[in-house]
Each structure stands twice: as structure tokens, then as C-alpha cells.
């Protein structure tokens, strides 16, 4: 419905001149939703003449009296075979359409409605919300009573089909708890899943709608109300630009201080979109956890479990103080003593993760109420249980989520309260911070055979981003950064990780190593993608920071685990090859003390007539007569053919200029190799028509976002100065920048391009000594003008 619509349908035959109750559209909360439902009931009742054998039944939001400000109507015109029902339906539907209300409608007899519900489980669920609105109440009551009774008798065998439909929806919409722009209705943990809980509860399978679930449901409904009110139309996906406005309507605000005024002025109160995301994440997790419990209860009821001679479920020991009972883990009777072991909660969590069996709800509640806090340092049993839990593989995440829902994690790690549901405002990340840490530990368990200390790998992976969200934490650190800046999260998190490792009970040397892993966890990917790996200074710098092969192997495994946990955009075969190449070179330096020699140029490029063009799947190599601007020319030709350059190297051998590039298609489709080769040959021979075609396309950078920036690095290369450009990604950016540098008199011998979501960090190796202040300013101006 729309708040501005107040229309009638006087031109529709048989219609009633009744207006939409627009005064009830706005408003957030349960009372407002009920008022909207009552307004619709009265309006719809005025449209339907009183007549036996005809009833108007509401399902969906109106049926539940949970009408959103701009929701639609789901109506069933139920009849007992009376004549003229089609004309009556038209007289009812047309005024609703004329009023601008979205309508989902059907006209059915009682037998037809029940038959459709028997064939379609989604219709069966919808009829559980059926509610009489107008007309023949006895007829409507017959439908609601029969639909509920039929569902109770058939629910157990129909739930598998419903679960299959549900999991397909989850695959499409993702998990609401971890999305920056989630669908409040369709994503896992959203409003649609609360409907499933109602259905399972209606079947008498389990008490699915516990107080925490009902509270989470109300808050999700309030959020959707606020979203409708903020946008002014029906929408269920909370996008970034509406987040702060919705937070303000819900009263979620924070005190924000200016950088120069912190601690001196009261600051301003601003809407807190992050608080909204954290609240949604917590509510979605509550719903998802309850639904997991409900599915398990249904499975037990449908399939049964092994039972002993007395008919009771078999109790099977699985670990010390832990037994399996009816498909769930519970405490052994001997574990419930006068003073429980502080490590008990961790040990049952580890058992749940390794056996992939859920912890019974009653057991979680008992642990939350009676398990004492862990001493510092932790006893060996607790430390061993944590490592077992983190290394359990696929069972880790569900076991951890269960413990988190009952507050057990906060007792183990007080820092977890700050990390829980913390959004990561980067499109590369698919998870909130807490889930990302747990997921990284899970991914690290795949690499435990590749390192000397798998326990330290698991703990380092779990703690690697613990510095995020703290004051002083900035963007990801830059390798060899020339000027001081806000410390990145790896630097901020290192001492925190060391302190946690010490509290867990690790020896001082091992706790220090955990801090090193956290501090350097960005080192390998940043150097591999932004530096010239053939430069001995690059390898020496990494070797000096890493220190020994054991740490190098741990960092290599951590990098791969971190990328896999971040999301598909965080890793690629190209990036993996670069990191592996860097690790191999650093290992040689650490093992022998000698720096590996730079690779020799491709022999095919230094012999034969010019120009030489070699094309491979991800490599383009060109040899031509030595001249300035060849790298820019090649970059422009590649951009013309929609190829992104990932790295570029330019060198001169015996009077030949060599340019070698690693590339990938910008839009997924490889260019025509014949056309690309022909254009490269013409371009390097001086045919300006090729680059003129590129200029004609007006490949402009994307607008918006932070302003581009140039950073200089003085000691990062052996025979060059490094100019680093941080800007928004755009087609042809490398061509424009290399042209600008060439026109400004700089010679580029190598370039490394690192794409981070919609941004790039491009590093250019400029031949020569450290430029004067004037020259640096001139080159910066040229580059920024090109961007």
C-alpha cells in the first residue's frame, strides 16, 4: 500500500465507494502493525456484501495481523459453490487494485483450497495463517480448522520437501546474519524462516517459538517497518544507503566526536547503521539456531533413534564427561558434580565439533548457568580442547555458533563481545568479523599437515583480525610505507593476540610467535601482488621480517586460509602463484643466506626479427625496437581488447625493449588472439591509430569514493624508486598513468596492479634515484591528473 493513495472504485460494477485507510500506513512496532490490519479489515469488510456461503479470508501478513507499511494483501475468496462468484470477486479485487494496493488473490471452494494445500506445501503453510475477515464466518472457520488439523497430521512427512525448498532459498539469498545488504524476509534467519518455526510449532513437533525467537521476530518486523517508511515503498532488502536512516527511525544512534574535538566537545549524535547491522545479525542468528533445533526435532520424530531394551534412547560415550543421547550430546551424569570442571564447556564443544553432533539445548543452558569461568592461565585440558575445536573442520562452525548463542564464548574470551556481529564494510568480505575469524580457523585446518606447528596455525588464524574495530585501527597496512599513518589492524591486533595466547597458557616464545603471525598476516599477499619479486631487495625485506622457515610456512598457510574465509574475490590462481613464488624465494634466502638471481628474459624475445609478439592464456610478451613509452603503448592496446593487466615488466636487452605482462579478461571473455597480435604489432611499430581508438572510447575512471592518492617508497627496490597509486579501478587506468609518467619524463621498468574490490593499489618502479621535492610534486600531479 502507499501512504499517498486514497482512491475509490466507483466506476467498477458492483463496487463499494470505500477508501483505503491511509492514516494507518506509517508507524513502527506491533501496535502499528495491528492498527494497519484492523484498518484493512474494516475497509475490506465494507467491500464484501453480507452473504451466506461467501467468506473473505486473509493469509500472509494480514492474516497474522503483521501488516507492513507498504506490504501487499494475500486474500482468498472462499465460497460454497454459490452462483455469481466471479462477478463478486471482480467487485472485490478491482477496488483494491484501484487503491494502489498490491494483491495476491485466489477464489476457491473449501475442497479446492484443501486440495491445493495437499499438493503444495507452501500453500499448506500459508493456510496456517488464515484468518476470517468478512462474510460467512462459519465457512472461514471450517477452512482454518481443517487446514491446521491436516497440517498436524501430515507435517512430519512433508517437512523434508519444505526443507529442500528452504535450503534452495538460502542458497539464493545467503545468510542474513553475515550480509551487509541482506533481504530481511528471504535470507536465512529472516522473516520467512520465522514462518517455518510457526509451522513446526503448530505441528506440535517442538517448542520452536521460545521468548528469544519471538523477541528477535518483533525486532526484524520493526526493521522492515522502518525500511518501508524510509524508502516509501515495499522493499525487503536493506541496502547501504538506507541503513543510517532506518537506524534513526529505530532509535539506534551513537555519539560521534570529531578527530580534533575528541574529548573536548560533546560531539554530535548520528544514526548508527553498524548498530542496526549488529542487531539484525544477532536476531537472524537466533532465528537460524531455533530453526536448526526444530529441524533436528523433526528428524528425530520422523526417523527415530536407536533404543535399548527398555525403549529408551541409547546413551553412547563419545568423550570424557560427554555422551550421545538421542542424536545429541549431553553431559554424563558423573560430570554434574558439586563443582564442575571449568574446561567442561570447551570439552563438550570440542566433542560436538569432532563428532558433528549438536549439543542438547538443556545441556547448553546448564553450562551457561553452572560452568565456572576459566582461570588464567588456562589448564592444559581447556587449551587442548580449544585447539581440538578450532581444528575440527566442518563441525567447528555449528558447534561454535551454538556455544555463542548461550553466552559460553564470552566466558572463554571476553574480547568476543566486541567482535560479535561486527560488520566488515568491504565487498570482498562475505562474513561479519566474528564469523570470519571462526571460518579462517576452519580453512586453516585444511593446511595443518603443511606446517610444523598446526596448533599455532589454528590459533593464529583464529586471532589474525582481532585488531579490527578498535580505535587507531585503519586500513590494511601498506608494505614499505614511506610516511607515518594510522596503525592498521594487524599492528593493533598483535599485542592483543599475544595477551590472549598467554592467557590461554602458551609459553612466552609461542605467544610471541602468535603476535608475529597476526602482525605479518598481510605481508605475503601485499608484497606478492604489489612488488617486483625478481628484485633482491623485495626478497631480503620479507626474509628479514619473517626470520625463519617455520614462521614462513605458518604465514603461507594463514594467507590461504584467510583468503578462503574472506570470499572468492580475495583469491585467484594468479595471486596464489605469486604468493607461492615469493615464499619459494624467501625460503631460499632463509635456508642458504643467498638471494635468488633474477629470472633470465624469455630467449624467444631476444632473438629474431622485430617486433616479437607472444600470446598465452594469461601472458602477453612483446619485443620491439627500444623507445620511450613502449609500456604505455602495450598497456593501451591491451585495454583496447578489454584485458586487465595484473603485472608488467619492462627491460632493455641488447637494444631491444621487452615488455612482459600478466593479464586476465576484464569481462570474462578472452579477446581474438589474431586481432590482438595484429594490433600489438602495429602499435609497437608506431601506428598511432591503435591508441587513438582507445582514446576514442573515453575510458573514464569511476567517480565517487575517496580521492586518489600517491605514496612514495624510497627503499623498496634495488635500482628504482616506487610510486604507489591508490585510486578507484577503471578500464585503461594503467595506460593513462604510464602515458602520464612517460610524458613527465619518468621511465617505468615494472608495474604491479592489485585490485581490492572497486579500488586498486598500483605500484610503479621508476628508474633512477630519489626525485627532488619538485620532481615528486610534478610526477604526482601528472599521475593524479591522469586518474
Enumerate the β-bridge partners of residue 619: 662
pLDDT > 50? residue 85:
yes
State the Cα–Cα distance between residues 743 and 739, nearest whole angstrom: 6
pLDDT value at residue 268: 54
pLDDT in tens, 688-708: 888 777 765 545 455 456 789
pLDDT > 80? residue 454:
yes
In the numeric block, the cell 512496532 is attached to 29
Tell me how far CA of residue 571 lies from CA of 105, 445, 726, in angstroms: 48, 18, 20
Q: What proportions of the chain, in percent to the nearest 5, are helix, strand and coil?
A: 50, 15, 35
pLDDT value at residue 477: 37
Helix (H) / strand (E) element for 140: namely helix 137-173
370 closest CA partner among 381, 378, 362: 362
State the Cα–Cα distance between residues 780 and 483, nearest whole angstrom: 15
Contacts of 261 (CB under 8 A, 6+ apart): 267
pLDDT value at residue 305: 55
Mean pLDDT for 385-400 is 96
Contacts of 117 (CB under 8 A, 6+ apart): 123, 124, 127, 147, 150
Dihedral sign (CA 61, 65, 66, 70): positive
Alpha helices in 613-696 (DSSP H): 630-640, 673-684, 689-696
Mean pLDDT for 586-603 is 87
When mean pLDDT is compared across 63-72, 333-342, 742-751, the lowest value belongs to 333-342
pLDDT value at residue 231: 93
Q: If you compute the radius of gyration of the chain from its CA atoms, what whole number of angstroms results?
A: 32
State the Cα–Cα distance between residues 415 and 649, nearest whole angstrom: 46
The b-or-e profile of 649-682 (16+ CB within 10 A means b, else e) is bbeeeeebbbbbbbbbebeeeebeeeebbebbbe
Count other Cβ atoms within 10 Å, centred on residue 738.
Answer: 28
Q: Please give the grid coordinates belonging to residue 344.
A: 567442561
Q: Please give the grid coordinates belonging to residue 462.
A: 583464529
State the Cα–Cα distance between residues 136 and 50, nearest whole angstrom: 8
State the Cα–Cα distance between residues 244 and 370, nearest whole angstrom: 40
Residue 608 pLDDT level (bands cut at 50, 70, 90): confident
pLDDT in tens, 29-68: 999 999 999 999 999 999 988 888 999 999 999 999 999 9
pLDDT value at residue 9: 34
In the numeric block, the cell 573536548 is attached to 264
pLDDT > 60? residue 256:
no
State the Cα–Cα distance between residues 452 and 342, nearest whole angstrom: 30
Q: Are 166 and 196 in contact (CB under 8 A)?
A: yes
Enumerate the β-bridge partners of residue 612: 623
pLDDT in tens, 292-328: 999 988 888 877 655 555 556 678 899 999 999 988 9
Mean pLDDT for 635-650 is 90
Residue bearing the bigger pLDDT, 758 or 135 = 135
Residue bearing the bigger pLDDT, 667 or 245 = 245
State the Cα–Cα distance between residues 25 and 228, nearest whole angstrom: 10
pLDDT value at residue 25: 61
State the Cα–Cα distance between residues 67 and 75, nearest whole angstrom: 13
In the numeric block, the cell 624465494 is attached to 585
321 closest CA partner among 310, 306, 336, 308: 336
pLDDT > 50? residue 260:
no
517 closest CA partner among 445, 453, 423, 471: 453
What SS3 class is residue 457?
helix
171: burial class by Cβ within 10 Å (0-12, 13-18, 19+)? exposed
pLDDT value at residue 676: 95
pLDDT in tens, 4-15: 333 333 333 333
What SS3 class is residue 245?
helix
Q: Please give the grid coordinates belonging to residue 392.
A: 575440527
When mean pLDDT is compared across 220-224, 383-387, 756-760, the lowest value belongs to 756-760
Residue bearing the bigger pLDDT, 633 or 476 = 633
Q: Specify the pairing of strand 656-665 against strand 131-135.
A: unpaired
Q: Are 379 and 505 in contact (CB under 8 A)?
A: yes
Q: What's the per-residue H, E or C state across 344-411?
A: HHHHHHHHHHHHCCCECHHHHHHHHHHCCCCCCCCCHHHHHHHHHHHCCHHHHHHHHHHHHHCCHHHH
Residue 174 CA to chain centroid, in angstroms?
Answer: 9
153: burial class by Cβ within 10 Å (0-12, 13-18, 19+)? exposed
Helix (H) / strand (E) element for 10: namely none
pLDDT value at residue 207: 84
Instruction: Give pairs for 487-494: CB < 8 Å, separation 24+.
Output: 488/522, 489/465, 490/464, 490/518, 490/519, 490/520, 490/521, 490/522, 491/467, 491/519, 492/467, 493/463, 493/464, 493/465, 493/466, 493/467, 493/468, 493/518, 493/519, 494/467, 494/518, 494/519
Q: Please give the grid coordinates belonging to residue 147.
A: 487446514
Using alpha carbons only, give the angle 181, 183, 189 rounded to the nearest 5 degrees.
110
pLDDT > 50? residue 570:
yes
pLDDT value at residue 138: 95
Mean pLDDT for 74-93 is 93
pLDDT value at residue 334: 83
Helix (H) / strand (E) element for 672: namely none
Residue 473 pLDDT level (bands cut at 50, 70, 90): low
pLDDT > 70? residue 265:
no
User: ω before 377 within 30° of 0 (cis)?
Assistant: yes
**What mean pLDDT is reported for the chain?**
88
Amino acid at each position: 500500500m502507499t501512504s499517498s493513495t486514497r482512491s475509490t472504485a466507483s466506476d467498477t460494477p458492483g463496487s463499494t465507494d470505500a477508501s483505503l485507510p491511509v492514516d494507518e500506513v506509517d508507524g513502527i512496532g506491533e501496535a502499528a502493525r495491528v492498527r494497519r490490519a484492523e484498518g484493512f479489515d474494516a475497509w475490506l469488510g465494507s467491500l464484501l456484501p453480507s452473504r451466506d456461503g461467501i467468506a473473505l479470508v486473509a493469509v500472509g501478513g494480514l492474516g497474522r495481523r503483521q501488516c507492513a507499511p507498504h506490504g501487499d494483501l494475500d486474500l482468498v475468496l472462499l465460497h460454497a459453490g454459490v452462483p455469481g462468484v466471479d462477478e463478486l470477486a471482480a467487485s472485490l479485487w478491482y477496488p483494491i487494485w484501484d487503491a494502489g494496493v498490491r494483491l495476491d488473490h485466489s477464489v476457491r471452494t473449501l475442497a479446492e483450497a484443501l486440495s491445493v494445500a495437499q499438493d503444495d506445501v507452501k500453500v499448506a503453510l500459508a493456510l496456517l495463517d488464515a484468518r476470517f475477515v468478512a462474510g460467512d464466518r462459519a465457512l472461514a472457520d471450517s477452512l482454518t480448522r481443517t487446514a491446521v488439523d491436516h497440517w498436524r497430521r501430515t507435517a512430519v512427512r512433508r517437512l523434508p520437501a519444505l526443507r529442500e525448498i528452504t535450503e534452495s532459498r538460502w542458497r539464493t539469498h545467503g545468510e542474513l546474519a553475515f550480509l551487509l545488504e541482506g533481504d530481511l524476509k528471504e535470507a536465512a534467519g529472516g522473516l520467512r524462516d520465522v514462518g517455518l518455526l510457526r509451522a513446526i510449532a503448530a505441528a506440535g513437533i517442538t517448542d520452536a517459538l521460545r521468548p528469544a525467537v519471538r523477541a528477535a521476530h518483533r525486532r526484524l518486523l520493526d526493521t522492515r517497518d522502518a525500511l518501508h517508511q524510509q524508502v516509501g515503498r515495499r522493499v525487503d532488502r536493506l541496502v547501504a544507503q538506507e541503513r543510517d536512516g532506518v537506524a534513526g527511525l529505530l532509535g539506534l544512534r551513537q555519539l560521534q566526536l570529531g578527530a580534533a574535538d575528541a574529548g573536548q566537545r560533546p560531539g554530535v549524535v548520528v544514526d548508527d547503521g553498524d548498530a542496526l547491522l549488529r542487531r539484525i545479525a544477532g536476531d537472524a542468528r537466533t532465528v537460524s539456531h531455533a530453526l536448526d533445533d526444530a529441524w533436528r526435532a523433526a528428524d528425530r520424530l520422523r526417523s527415530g533413534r536407536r533404543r535399548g531394551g527398555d525403549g529408551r534412547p541409547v546413551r553412547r560415550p563419545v568423550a570424557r564427561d560427554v555422551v550421545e543421547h538421542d542424536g545429541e550430546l549431553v553431559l554424563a551424569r558423573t560430570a554434574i558434580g558439586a563443582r564442575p570442571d571449568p574446561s567442561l564447556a570447551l570439552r563438550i564443544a570440542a566433542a560436538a565439533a569432532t563428532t558433528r553432533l549438536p549439543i542438547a539445548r538443556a545441556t547448553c543452558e546448564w553450562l551457561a548457568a553452572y560452568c565456572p569461568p576459566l582461570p588464567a592461565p588456562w589448564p592444559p585440558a581447556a587449551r587442548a580442547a580449544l585447539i581440538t575445536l578450532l581444528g575440527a573442520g566442518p563441525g567447528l562452525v555449528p558447534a561454535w555458533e551454538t556455544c555463542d548463542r548461550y553466552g559460553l564464548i564470552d566466558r572463554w574470551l571476553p574480547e568476543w563481545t566486541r567482535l560479535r556481529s561486527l560488520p566488515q564494510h568491504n565487498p570482498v568480505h562475505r562474513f561479519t568479523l566474528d564469523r570470519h575469524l571462526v571460518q579462517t580457523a576452519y580453512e586453516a585446518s585444511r593446511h595443518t599437515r603443511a606446517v610444523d606447528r598446526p596448533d599455532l596455525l589454528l590459533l593464529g588464524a583464529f586471532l589474525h583480525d582481532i585488531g579490527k574495530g578498535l580505535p587507531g585501527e585503519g586500513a590494511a597496512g601498506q608494505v614499505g610505507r614511506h610516511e607515518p599513518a594510522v596503525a592498521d589492524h594487524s599492528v593493533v591486533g598483535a599485542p592483543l593476540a599475544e595477551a590472549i595466547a598467554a592467557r590461554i597458557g602458551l609459553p612466552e616464545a609461542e605467544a610471541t610467535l602468535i603476535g608475529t603471525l597476526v602482525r605479518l598476516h598481510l605481508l605475503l599477499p601485499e608484497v606478492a601482488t604489489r612488488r617486483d619479486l625478481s628484485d633482491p631487495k623485495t626478497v631480503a625485506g620479507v626474509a628479514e621480517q619473517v626470520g625463519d622457515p617455520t614462521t614462513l610456512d605458518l604465514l603461507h598457510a594463514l594467507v590461504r586460509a584467510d583468503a578462503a574465509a574472506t570470499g572468492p574475490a580475495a583469491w585467484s590462481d594468479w595471486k596464489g602463484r605469486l604468493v607461492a613464488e615469493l615464499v619459494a624465494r624467501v625460503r631460499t634466502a632463509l635456508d642458504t643466506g643467498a638471494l635468488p638471481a633474477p629470472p633470465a628474459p624469455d630467449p624467444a624475445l631476444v632473438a629474431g626479427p622485430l617486433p616479437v609478439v607472444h600470446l598465452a592464456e594469461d601472458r602477453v610478451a612483446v619485443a620491439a625496437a627500444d623507445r620511450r613509452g613502449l609500456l604505455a603503448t602495450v598497456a593501451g592496446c591491451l585495454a583496447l581488447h578489454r584485458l586487465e593487466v595484473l603485472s608488467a615488466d619492462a627491460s632493455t636487452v641488447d637494444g631491444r625493449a621487452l615488455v612482459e605482462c600478466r593479464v586476465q579478461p576484464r569481462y570474462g571473455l578472452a579477446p581474438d588472439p589474431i586481432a590482438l597480435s595484429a594490433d600489438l604489432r602495429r602499435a609497437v611499430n608506431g601506428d598511432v591509430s591503435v591508441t587513438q581508438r582507445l582514446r576514442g572510447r573515453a575510458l573514464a575512471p569511476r567517480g565517487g569514493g575517496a580521492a586518489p592518492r600517491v605514496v612514495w617508497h624510497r627503499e623498496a627496490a634495488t635500482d628504482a624508486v616506487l610510486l604507489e597509486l591508490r585510486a578507484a579501478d577503471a578500464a585503461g587506468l594503467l595506460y593513462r598513468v604510464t602515458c602520464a609518467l612517460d610524458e613527465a619524463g619518468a621511465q617505468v621498468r615494472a608495474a604491479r596492479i592489485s585490485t581490492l574490490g572497486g579500488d586498486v593499489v598500483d605500484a610503479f618502479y621508476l628508474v633512477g634515484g630519489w626525485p627532488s621535492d619538485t620532481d615528486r610534486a610534478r610526477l604526482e600531479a601528472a599521475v593524479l591528473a591522469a586518474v
